[in-house]
C-alpha cells in the first residue's frame, strides 16, 4: 500500500497534469493533504467505520471550511471562517479528504460558469464550451477525475447543469435534507447543498452521510431525510414495481437542440424498457413557476444576501452579477407577496397533475442545448436564462432531482433529470439509474452501491396486501421501504385466501418432501427502525419468519399461523396473490 505522502502527491500530480487552474480558488497544501490521508488511515486502523474513507472531495467556494477563505467568487468579499459548514464536516467525519475550494459564478448567480474573476471554468470535454454554473469548478473537478466527490449548491439548477454538461451525476436533494448552515445564501428560501460524483451510487453514499440530524427551519416541513430516519407519513420513498414516469409534452420542448431531443428520447425508451410506464403531462405550470425565480419578487432574496455589500463595492462585482442582483434593489414588497401566492397556486396545480397521472417522477432534459463561451459572451443573460428552463422550477416547487448522463451528442455530454416531490430522493435515484446511459464511465463505484443507512436495511418478502399497488403497501413506503426485486419462493409453499379485511393471503411452508408451489413475492428493504415498528404492529394470524426464495436464499417474510388456514381456499395454483385476484 502506498504511503500517505505518495497518495497526496498523486492527487496533486493529477491536478497539475489537467492544467485547469480556473477550476480552483484555494487548494490544500500537499503536506496538509498527506496529513489528512494519514489521519484517515489511522482511524481505519483503529476500527472506525468510515463510509467515505480515502475518497477525495472539493467544496464550492460559497461553503465555509475553517481556515480557508470563503470568497463566493469575489476576492474583495473574502473572509476566513473559524467554523466548518456541517455538510463539509460530515464528509470529513466519514473519512473523505478535502482537496480544495472550487470556482463558481460569483455569488452563486449563474448557470454558465463564466462569471468569475478567477476565470471562466471551461467544459471538461470541450474547452470552447461552458462548464455550467454556478457550481462550475466542482462539476469539472469531478468530471476530470481530480476528485471523487464535490459539493455544490443549487438554487436554480447549479447542482444539475454542470452534471449535464460534463457527463457526471448531480443530486439536488429535497430542501432541508442537507444543512445549509455555513453556506452563503443566494435565495435562502430555496438554496440546497448538492453533490457531484461519477456514479449514482457514490453520490448517494455521500448524501447519506450529509443528511443532518434535523431539517433546516426553512425546509420542506416536518420530514426528515429518507436515508437515516423514519420518513414523514406521506413521503413517497418506496419505488413502485411498475413506476409511472411523466414526460414533457412536445410543445414544451420547442427550442431544445435536436440532438438533445434524441438523447432525451433514448432515456425515455430506457425507462420504458426497465418497466416504467411513461405518460405525457402539461409542463406549463412547472415552467411558469420557474420564471418566478428571476422574473419576480423572489429575486429580492438575492439582494438581501449580498446587495448592501455590492452597493458599497460596485467595482469589485462582476457586471452581469451586479446587474441581476442590483435589479432587485427596489422591488416592492407587494411583488414578493403576490408571487408567493402565485407559487402556492402553481404548486397545487403541479401536485394535481402528477397525482392525476399517477406519476412518481418527471423526466426532462436537464438543459436544452450547450452554448460556447463565445455565445455567452455575446448574450450573457439571455443564454443563461435559456439554460434554466427545465431546472429553475424544482426548488420553487419543493421538489428533488437527480441529473444523469444520457447519450452524448456530437461527442459532448448530454443529460436528463428525474424530478419528484419532496422526500422522494430515493425514488428519483432509482429511476435515474434506469434512465442513465452511463453513470460510471471509470468504474470507480458500481451502480448497485446503494447508499444505505448506518445500520443495513432489513429485507422483507411480501406476498399479499403489502405488494405494490395493494391496499397495505403504504405500511412499507411510509416506513421508508424500497422495492428491490420481484421473484418467487422455492416450490415448497402453499398459499390460501384468508377471510380478513382487507383480503389477504396466507403463506405456509409445507413439510419436507411435500409437493408445493412457487409463489410470487416482492422483496423490499426496510430501515431497521421501520422494520421493528412494522413487526410490532402486525396482526394475527400474520407472522414474520424465514422465507426460502427460488434461488435458495432465505429472507424474513410474511407467513401465516397454520390454524388460520383450516378451511381456507387453497389458491396455490394461481402462483400468487395478484394472479389470483386477476382470476388466475
Q: Which amino acids are annotated catalytic?
A: 60, 134, 158
3-state secondary structure of 106: helix
| Integer angstrom CA distances of residue 154 from 53, 375, 452 | 26, 24, 24
Name the pairing type of β-strands 97-102 and 56-60: parallel
Cβ–Cβ under 8 Å, residues 244 and 209: no
Beta pairing partners, 76? none
Cβ–Cβ under 8 Å, residues 184 and 62: yes
CA 536 to chain centre: 32
Q: How many residues does the chain have?
A: 584
Cβ–Cβ under 8 Å, residues 369 and 260: yes
Q: What is the dihedral of CA 275, 276, 277, 281, to 10 degrees?
A: -170
d(Cα 204, Cα 451) in Å, to the nearest integer?
5
Residue 69 main-chain phi, psi, to 5 deg: -60, 145
What is the grid cell recorded at 535? Answer: 413487526
What is the grid cell recorded at 60? Answer: 464550492
Residue 235 has a CB neighbour count (10 Å cut-off) of 25
Identify which of 213, 225, 141, 128 has the alpha carbon closest to the alpha carbon of residue 175: 225
Cβ–Cβ under 8 Å, residues 267 and 435: yes
Amino acid at each position: 500500500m502506498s504511503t500517505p505522502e505518495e497518495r497526496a502527491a498523486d492527487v496533486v500530480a493529477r491536478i497539475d497534469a489537467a492544467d485547469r487552474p480556473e477550476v480552483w480558488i484555494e487548494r490544500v497544501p500537499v503536506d496538509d493533504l498527506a496529513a489528512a490521508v494519514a489521519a484517515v488511515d489511522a482511524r481505519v486502523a483503529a476500527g472506525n467505520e468510515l463510509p467515505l474513507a480515502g475518497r477525495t472531495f472539493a467544496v464550492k467556494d460559497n461553503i465555509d471550511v475553517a481556515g480557508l477563505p470563503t470568497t463566493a467568487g469575489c476576492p474583495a468579499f473574502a473572509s476566513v471562517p473559524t467554523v466548518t459548514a456541517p455538510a463539509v464536516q460530515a464528509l470529513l467525519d466519514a473519512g473523505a479528504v478535502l482537496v480544495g475550494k472550487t470556482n463558481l459564478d460569483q455569488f452563486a448567480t449563474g448557470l454558465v460558469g463564466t462569471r468569475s474573476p478567477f476565470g471562466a471554468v471551461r467544459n471538461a470535454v470541450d474547452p470552447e464550451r461552458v462548464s455550467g454554473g454556478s457550481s462550475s469548478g466542482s462539476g469539472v473537478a469531478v468530471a476530470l477525475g481530480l476528485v471523487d466527490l464535490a459539493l455544490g449548491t443549487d438554487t436554480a439548477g447549479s447542482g444539475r447543469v454542470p452534471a449535464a454538461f460534463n457527463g457526471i451525476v448531480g443530486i439536488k436533494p429535497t430542501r432541508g435534507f442537507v444543512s445549509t448552515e455555513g453556506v452563503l445564501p443566494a435565495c435562502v428560501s430555496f438554496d440546497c447543498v448538492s453533490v457531484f460524483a461519477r456514479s449514482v451510487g457514490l453520490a448517494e453514499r455521500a448524501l447519506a452521510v450529509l443528511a443532518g440530524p434535523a431539517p433546516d427551519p426553512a425546509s420542506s416541513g416536518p420530514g426528515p431525510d429518507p436515508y437515516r430516519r423514519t420518513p414523514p407519513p406521506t413521503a413517497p420513498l418506496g419505488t413502485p414495481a411498475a413506476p409511472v414516469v411523466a414526460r414533457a409534452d412536445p410543445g414544451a420542448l420547442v427550442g431544445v437542440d435536436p440532438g438533445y431531443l434524441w438523447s432525451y428520447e433514448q432515456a425515455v425508451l430506457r425507462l420504458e424498457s426497465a418497466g416504467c410506464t411513461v405518460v405525457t403531462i402539461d409542463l406549463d405550470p412547472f415552467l411558469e413557476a420557474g420564471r418566478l425565480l428571476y422574473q419576480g419578487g423572489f429575486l429580492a432574496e438575492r439582494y438581501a444576501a449580498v446587495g448592501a455589500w455590492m452597493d458599497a463595492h460596485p467595482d469589485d462585482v462582476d457586471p452581469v452579477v451586479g446587474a441581476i442582483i442590483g435589479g432587485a434593489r427596489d422591488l416592492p414588497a407587494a411583488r414578493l407577496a403576490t408571487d408567493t401566492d402565485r407559487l402556492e397556486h402553481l404548486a397545487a396545480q403541479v401536485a394535481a397533475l402528477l397525482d392525476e397521472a399517477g406519476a412518481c417522477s418527471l423526466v426532462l432534459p436537464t438543459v436544452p442545448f450547450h452554448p460556447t463561451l463565445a455565445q455567452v459572451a455575446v448574450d450573457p443573460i439571455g443564454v443563461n436564462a435559456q439554460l434554466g428552463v427545465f431546472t429553475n422550477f424544482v426548488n420553487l416547487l419543493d421538489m428533488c432531482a437527480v441529473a444523469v448522463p444520457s447519450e452524448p451528442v456530437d461527442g459532448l455530454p448530454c443529460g436528463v433529470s428525474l424530478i419528484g416531490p419532496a422526500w422522494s430522493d430515493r425514488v428519483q435515484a432509482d429511476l435515474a439509474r434506469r434512465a442513465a446511459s452511463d453513470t460510471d464511465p471509470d468504474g470507480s463505484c458500481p451502480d448497485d452501491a446503494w447508499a444505505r443507512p448506518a445500520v443495513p436495511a432489513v429485507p422483507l418478502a411480501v406476498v399479499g396486501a403489502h405488494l405494490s399497488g395493494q391496499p397495505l403497501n403504504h405500511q412499507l413506503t411510509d416506513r421508508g421501504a424500497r422495492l428491490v426485486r420481484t421473484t418467487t419462493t422455492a416450490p415448497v409453499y402453499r398459499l390460501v385466501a384468508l377471510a380478513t379485511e382487507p383480503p389477504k393471503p396466507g403463506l405456509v411452508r409445507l413439510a419436507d418432501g411435500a409437493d408445493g408451489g412457487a409463489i410470487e413475492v416482492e422483496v423490499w428493504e426496510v430501515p431497521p427502525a421501520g422494520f421493528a415498528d412494522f413487526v410490532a404492529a402486525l396482526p394475527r394470524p400474520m407472522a414474520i419468519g424465514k422465507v426460502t426464495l427460488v434461488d435458495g436464499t432465505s429472507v424474513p417474510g410474511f407467513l401465516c399461523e397454520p390454524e388460520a388456514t383450516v378451511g381456507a381456499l387453497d389458491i396455490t395454483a394461481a402462483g400468487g396473490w395478484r394472479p389470483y385476484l386477476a382470476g388466475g
